[in-house]
């Protein structure tokens, strides 16, 4: 069995996400959850960068720029959604972020009306 990547940081992060959901519940826009996650990360002394720009390069030239919701502890890409389920496009989005950022782990989270869902995504895997 493979070793879990960044277990302590992941555990703390998921705890923050559940706290935000249990305080707010479902039904808000993504920007509301992003603001709440930002506050909880800061309160819990978890290092983060928000709305991080990452260039998409082709043959050394910039084609586009990705905007990552959060990078946690310089190790984990955190992508927020407000849909009832993840789509293959959501997963591919995080995989692209991992590839371009050089990070190994992404956590995709959805604050839906009914519940909170999250998925760990490793670079090069679905």
How far is C-alpha 5 from the geometric centre of its chain's CA atoms? 15
- Confirm whether 2 is domain-assigned: no
33 domain residue, yes or no: yes
In a domain, 100, yes or no: yes
Three-state DSSP state, 114: coil
Number of domains in the chain: 1
pTM summary value: 0.90
Report the CATH number at residue 49.
3.90.320.10
Comparing C-alpha atoms, which of 65, 76, 48, 61 is closest to residue 100? Answer: 65
Q: With respect to residue 65, please indicate whether it lies within any of the assigned structural domains.
A: yes
Q: Is residue 1 part of a domain?
A: no
Summarised one tens digit per residue, pLDDT across range 53-102 is 887 777 878 878 888 999 999 999 999 999 999 999 999 999 989 988 89
pLDDT number for residue 75: 97
Residue showing tokens 């709440």: 36
**In the prediction, which pLDDT does 66 show?**
82
21/37 Cα distance (integer angstroms) = 9
Would residue 74 count as lying in a domain? yes
**Residue 104 and residue 26: Cα distance in Å, rounded?**
29
Range of the domain at 40: 7-122
3-state SS class at 15:
helix
């Amino acid at each position: 069995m493979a070793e879990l990547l960044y277990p302590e940081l992941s555990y703390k992060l998921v705890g923050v996400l559940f706290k935000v959901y249990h305080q707010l519940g479902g039904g808000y826009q993504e920007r509301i959850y992003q603001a709440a996650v930002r506050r909880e990360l800061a309160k819990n002394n978890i290092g983060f960068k928000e709305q991080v720009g990452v260039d998409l390069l082709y043959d050394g030239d910039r084609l586009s720029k990705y905007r990552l919701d959060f990078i946690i502890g310089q190790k984990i890409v955190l992508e927020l959604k407000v849909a009832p389920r993840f789509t293959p496009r959501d997963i591919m989005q995080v995989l692209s972020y991992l590839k371009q950022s050089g990070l190994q782990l992404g956590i995709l989270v959805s604050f839906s009306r009914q519940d909170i869902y999250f998925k760990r995504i490793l670079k090069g895997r679905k």
